[in-house]
Structure 1
Amino acid sequence: MNAPLPRPLIDRFNRRISYLRLSVTDRCDLRCSYCIPQGFKDFEEPEHWLTFDEIERVVRLFGLLGVGRVRLTGGEPLLRKDLAQLAGRLSVLPGIEDLSLSTNATQLDRHATALHAAGVKRLNISLDSLKRDCVTRVSGRDSLPAVMAGLDAAQAAGFAPIKLNMVVMQGVNDGEIEAMAAFCLARGFTLRLIEAMPMGDTGRNAHYLPLDGVRDQLVARFGLIPQALEMGGGPARYWQLPDGSGNIGFITPISQHFCATCNRVRLAVDGTLYLCLGQEEKLALRPLLRGGASDTELIAALRDAIELKPERHEFREQPGKIIRIMAHTGG
């Protein structure tokens, strides 16, 4: 007779934690204007990164505790050597039902086939413009050709769905939203429009634009209707074409926050477990992992940490509160 599984992770606000965003590196080959500052060098040293064995152990415990969705993030996760090997180890762990990846796609054409074979099911790809000069200005690199090659490789490898994440910035790329929507709908991608968040100085200077007016504009242009079924377990609210052949998501952490249904935590590459993107509550797991803690002790620490998960962020009320940049937290 199999032993009963431990009870799931439920916080003090009765939210069940079912989604882990796992950063495998804080480094990136781009310097997007809302994320990593130009000239930034304060990255974690590799000896502080969790090893693949440590990552596998933590994810196995999360799987036992009912966390079935895991997303590999960064920085840029494809900069971590042998990422497909790690993905293969995680995808077969008990309880892990969905393994996905967030990437800027600059390296994706070389890795798409191996990642798909390893069990990565879904991709989120950052792309803020279809104009080469705008992409260069926002990302700090002439990266659009590499991203397009990555998109082609992802489709050829069989990934579905492929979601394109576009951070909407007033006066930067807000005039390109309809063109991006048309591109995604034509190619079979899901467009997700995201409000810029005030993470560090870069995020606070990201030309925030609320998405309510943008949504109304796209509803009128494409005849979108609300989509009833959830997609991916994340924070996006989706609208679809009337025939169901395409959809667009809206992620609104500032104008319409989704904290009441937050089901996720973030594990940074240095082993810090962040309970909220916009607050400082956290658990340092690396000292426990390297100090000989048993699985029972680690599970107890995870349960104690979940009790610290705050009710909501305060991006609107205290936009200067969070000093760390997104790449340190994990996307």
Structure 2
Amino acid sequence: MLIDSYGRTVDYLRVSVTERCNFRCQYCMPEKPFSWVPKENLLSFEELFEFIKVSIDEGIKKIRITGGEPLLREDLDTFIKMIYDYKNDIDLAMTTNAFLLKGSAKKLYDAGLRRLNVSIDSLKPEIAEAIAKKDVLPNVLAGIEEALRVGFKVKVNMVPMKGMNEGEVLDVLEYCKDRGMVVRFIEYMENVHAEVDIKGMQSPELLSIIGSRYRYEDEGFDGHSPSHYYKLEDGYEFGIIEPHKDDFCTKCNRIRLTAEGNLIPCLYFDEAMSIRDAVRRGDIKEAALVLKEVIRTKPEKNRWSEGDTEQSNRAFYETGG
């Protein structure tokens, strides 16, 4: 079991398989050129898997595959099957923008993946294109429909922004509600890589919009999830992720591994330790020691406090958010 210095059990590993992304979303990486880290700098799937096995043996129970956009990495289904075959009761999920999902959903499902998180920031093609800087909506919606058809459990994430997509909060909620998908509204996380003029929306504003049409009850937090959940009268649940509040961190149970082998204890903090050299020389005991040290030094909370204007230097496209 992995327990940090604040008594939190850490059993959730997010694994970024690439920093590459085919979108240039305004709140993430709008000005980054379409380039990529040299292949030799990335851990192979076999190397990532060696560390994942150690992590599972030490107490990791949930693994989420992220990017960048994970579907840009070839043979991803093979990697997922490695994990599934090693421990077929692992909670295995993936976050994707769904642009390439239609053609890969069946392979991913057959490999053992069962849950997906997908971003929908707008249901209007022109707004979706303005946010992602690419005509993305038809592919995204087609990918979601295929994932549902195949049998995936799908959650949807939306980042509401003033002057951009704030008028679609109810539209996205109802799109998800009609398809049995949970939607989570994510408060914009300030970072130096985003557009400078973005103004996110806070939970009171979002609840006011939803409350204009629906009555809801506060359901609180669901286990270790960072999402604060609410239930409509018909039983449909939606969530809001509020990184600016301390309770976002109180039950944090996750660490992150980048495609280059950097193990990160907190999404906000820039500190990290590398497991790449240890894994590449086959020193799994050393990699396990790095894992335990990262857990030990995991900070109590991030620096996004309410009213704080500090921004993170962390590139979310390297860590998968």
Tell me the TM-score normalized by structure 1. Answer: 0.91
Aligned to 1:251: 241
Pairing of 1:56-95 with structure 2 (within 5 A): 56-94=49-87
Aligned to 2:226: 235
Pairing of 1:199-214 with structure 2 (within 5 A): 199-202=191-194, 205-214=197-206
Contact 1:24–1:73 (Cα < 8 Å) also in 2: yes
Aligned to 1:4: none
After superposition, the Cα gap between the structure-2 partners of 1:177 and 1:256, relative to the gap in structure 1 and judged at 3 Å, is: farther
Aligned to 1:292: 282
Q: Percent of aligned positions with the same letter in both sequences?
A: 34
Task: List structure 1 segments (4+ residues) > 4 angstroms apart after TM superposition.
Answer: 317-321
After superposition, the Cα gap between the structure-2 partners of 1:212 and 1:116, relative to the gap in structure 1 and judged at 3 Å, is: same
SS in 2 for 1:309: coil
After superposition, the Cα gap between the structure-2 partners of 1:72 and 1:204, relative to the gap in structure 1 and judged at 3 Å, is: farther
SS in 2 for 1:120: coil
Letter in 2 for 1:29: N
Aligned to 1:119: 112
SS in 2 for 1:70: strand
1-structure distance, mates of 2:76, 2:14: 15
State the Cα deviation string for residues 264-303 of structure 1 (Å, max 9, x = none).
Answer: 011111110110011122111112112331x322222211
State the Cα deviation string for residues 55-96 of structure 1 (Å, max 9, x = none).
Answer: 111111111111110000000000000111111111232386
After superposition, the Cα gap between the structure-2 partners of 1:75 and 1:289, relative to the gap in structure 1 and judged at 3 Å, is: same
1:179 paired with 2:176, answer no
2-structure distance, mates of 1:330, 1:112: 19
Aligned to 1:38: 31
RMSD between superposed Cα atoms in Å: 1.9
State the Cα deviation string for residues 304-327 of structure 1 (Å, max 9, x = none).
Answer: 111111111113476545323211
SS in 1 for 2:30: coil
Aligned to 2:257: 267
Aligned to 1:170: 162
2-structure distance, mates of 1:292, 1:58: 10
After superposition, the Cα gap between the structure-2 partners of 1:318 and 1:242, relative to the gap in structure 1 and judged at 3 Å, is: closer
Letter in 2 for 1:240: K
Larger deviation: 268-277 or 254-263? 254-263
The Cα shift of 1:219 comes to 3.9
Pairing partner for 1:309 from 288, 298, 308: 298
The Cα shift of 1:54 comes to 0.9
SS in 2 for 1:222: coil
State the Cα deviation string for residues 17-47 of structure 1 (Å, max 9, x = none).
Answer: 0111110110011100111123435632211
Letter in 2 for 1:59: I
Tell me the TM-score normalized by structure 2. Answer: 0.94
1-structure distance, mates of 2:193, 2:247: 21
After superposition, the Cα gap between the structure-2 partners of 1:91 and 1:200, relative to the gap in structure 1 and judged at 3 Å, is: farther
Larger deviation: 164-173 or 212-221? 212-221
1:325 paired with 2:315, answer yes
2-structure distance, mates of 1:205, 1:254: 18
SS in 2 for 1:258: helix
Pairing partner for 2:273 from 264, 268, 283: 283
Query: Which structure 2 residue ranges, 5 or more long, are not aligned?
Result: none
Contact 2:220–2:228 (Cα < 8 Å) also in 1: no
1-structure distance, mates of 2:280, 2:174: 50
